[in-house]
Structure 1
Amino acid sequence: MPGGRTIVIFGGARGIGAAVATRFAAADDRVFVGDVLDASPEVFAGAPQGNEPVVMKCDVGRPGDIATMFDRALDGGRKLDVVFNNVGIARYGEVDTLSLDDWRLTLDVNLTAQFLACKRAVTEMKRTGGGVIINTASILGHASQKTTAAYAASKAAVMALTRTVAIDHAKEGIRCVSISPGTIDTPLVQIAAATFRDRDPDDLKREWAALHPLNRLGTPKEVAETVFFLASPGAGFITGADILIDGGIRSELYA
């Protein structure tokens, strides 16, 4: 049986979230994953037998699902050590065509869900002596693209939320950081590429890769290693910060 920390991950059924869940499980941590999607067993192939992540159905657009996720993960008096908010959806459109429903849905999932998870996490961590909250922002919180008004606004707000949680609760032993991935080779990137129906998705992915100084897309495993470090004692002096995991794309003004 695992003897490590208790980790709660929202959005862990594939891509970055699944890689992070596997990384923590491999370190003997007990991992609870909530996702609106079903998780195929192979996404956690790197987890040791007997300590596979526990997956629960959770729609973060429903506040009750977030609460239930925490209740089940902490059942039996477990101490909450780490929360990784890895949620995000994208609805595309210029501001004059983007619907109010799509705007609200994007902020509900990308921002409000992370606020609610932070709220519950802080409550639990204050009671037990601290912990780490890691929120998922995006490179698009730093620099935008066309038709991404809702997504970019939500992710920029995640960074502001993170800073405030960090300074509000530092004296209670709670660290809060955010990560801003660049273009990571995940199912969400596949969906984004397929959205541009007049272009071949694989050609678009190659084009996006070439925009990065490292000349490739990032991998979920690389993001997972960063998240694992941020949750470790070795990152104990990091709080309120946003960590770019972007292959250098934000560092270059002109390609």
Structure 2
Amino acid sequence: MKFSLNGKNALITGAGSGIGQATAFSFAEAGAHVWIVDLNEAGARQTEAEIKQKGGQASVLLVNVTDQAAVIEAYGTPDSIDILVNSAGVSHIGKLDSTPEADFDRIYQVNVKGVYNSMLAAISRMQAAKKGVILNLASIASSVGIPDRFAYSMSKGAVLAMTLSVAKDYVKEGIRCNCISPARVHTPFVDGFLAKNYPGREQDMFEKLSATQPIGRMAKPSEIADLILYLCSDEAGFITGCDYPIDGGFIKLNN
């Protein structure tokens, strides 16, 4: 079977919801033992239960990715770390002059330091095995200017740069590192954002946001997960140090 992950341990941060959860479902279907790394116990347990109901293998690691010591301890639990997907992330709306220091620090702690902590905890185990795959979630904001996303864009630009650095430094040790850059994806975060900021106008605003994508809609989490599955599979063994836009044409066609 192509894109099989049989016998592999895959750690996925933020797997309690959204893209991380969709990736966990996809990886479990492909045969991986999925390690659900999340701070939200309810979401993590739901993901675990759904995977096991379908005959898949899943375990939960309740950990805050901003806590380096806790991440290192938790990542010592699996027998091996074959795949690491850094999907955990938070967002912020605001320009430079409307981004308080506390919000800037919050975005940095999760989106930048969280990715650093996870890669640091996994890399020595991959080095010992002389193989491994790391896949980071960047964003179209890594490559183009997005209005009112100053702190978020900062963090995703850092994810892209870290991806390239890790790919360069560990390519000779059998470790691949790539990232993907989604545009808008219809996740629970989007629904929550619309409900909070546009009460009574959710559907209208959803359609307007969807229309900003040249393809005319937002991505489904499962579509993002399918690209992640490919890049983490043996079939992508010749790919490292790359960023893959999955954006409905946003970067190239929105000129």
TM-score (norm 1): 0.90
Contact 1:59 1:66 in 2 (8 A): yes
Contact 2:198–2:205 (CA under 8 A) maintained in structure 1: no
- State the partner residue of 2:63: 58
User: Is the 8 Å Cα contact of residues 32 and 56 (structure 1) preserved in structure 2?
Assistant: yes
**Residue 29 of structure 1, aligned match among 1, 26, 32:** 32
Of 117-126 and 223-232, more deviation after overlay is shown by 117-126
The CA deviation at 1:142 is 1.6
Q: Superposition RMSD on alpha carbons, in Å?
A: 2.0
Q: Which residue identity is paired with 1:99?
A: P
* Matched residue, 2:220: 219
Correspondent of 1:68 among 73, 76, 89: 73
The alignment partner of 1:53 has SS state of strand
Contact 1:26 1:48 (C-alpha < 8 Å) held by counterparts: no
TM-superposed CA distance for 1:190, in Å, is 2.1
Counterpart of 1:245 in structure 2 is 246
Q: Distance in 1 between matches of 2:195 and 2:158?
A: 27
Q: How much does 1:99 deviate?
A: 1.1
Once the 2 structures are TM-superposed, how far is the Cα of residue 138 of structure 1 from its aligned partner? 0.9
Q: Decide whether the 8 Å contact of 1:19 with 1:44 is kept in 2.
A: no
The one-letter amino acid of 1:29's match is A
**5+ unaligned residues in a row in structure 1: which ranges?**
none
Tell me, yes or no, if the aligned pair for 1:23 and 1:47 is still in contact at 8 Å.
no
Greater percentage in helix: 2
Report the CA distance between 1:201 and its aligned residue. Answer: 2.5
**For residues 160 and 199 of structure 1, what CA distance do their matches in structure 2 show?**
40
Between the aligned partners of 2:214 and 2:148, the Cα distance in structure 1 is 24
Q: Does 1:81 align with 2:82?
A: yes
Check the 8 A contact 1:11/1:87 in 2, yes or no: yes
Query: Which stretch shifts more, 34-43 or 125-134?
Result: 34-43
- The Cα of 1:47 is off from its aligned counterpart by 5.7
Do 1:22 and 1:44's aligned partners in 2 also have CA atoms closer than 8 Å? no
C-alpha separation in 1, matches of 2:171 and 2:120: 14
Quick one: which amino acid aligns to residue 66 of structure 1?
Answer: V
Give me the whole-angstrom Cα distance separating, in 1, the residues matched to 2:148 and 2:199.
Answer: 16
Report how far residue 248 of structure 1 moved. 1.0
Contact 1:185/1:218 (CA < 8 Å) preserved in 2? yes
Instruction: Rate the CA distance shift 1:238–1:207 in 2: closer, same or farther, 3 A.
Output: same
- Contact kept in structure 2, 1:18 and 1:44, CA below 8 Å: no
Provide Cα deviations, 1:181-235, integer angstroms capped at 9, x if missing partner.
Answer: 1111101222333453377222222112122222111111111110010011111
Aligned equivalents of 1:159, 1:199: Cα separation in 2 = 37
SS at match of 1:7: strand
Q: Which moved more, 1:101-110 or 1:193-202?
A: 193-202
Q: Cα offset for 1:27?
A: 1.6
The code of the aligned residue for 2:26 comes to: R
Q: Count residues with an aligned counterpart.
A: 249
Q: TM-score scaled to structure 2, two decimals?
A: 0.90
Per mean C-alpha deviation after superposition, the further-off stretch among 193-202 and 10-19 is 193-202
Instruction: Choose 86-95 or 177-186, whichever is displaced more.
Output: 86-95
> Which stretches in structure 2 are left out of the alignment for 5+ residues?
none
Task: Describe how 1:142-181 pairs up with structure 2 within 5 A.
Answer: 142-181=143-182
In 2: Cα distance, 1:131 partner to 1:121 partner: 9
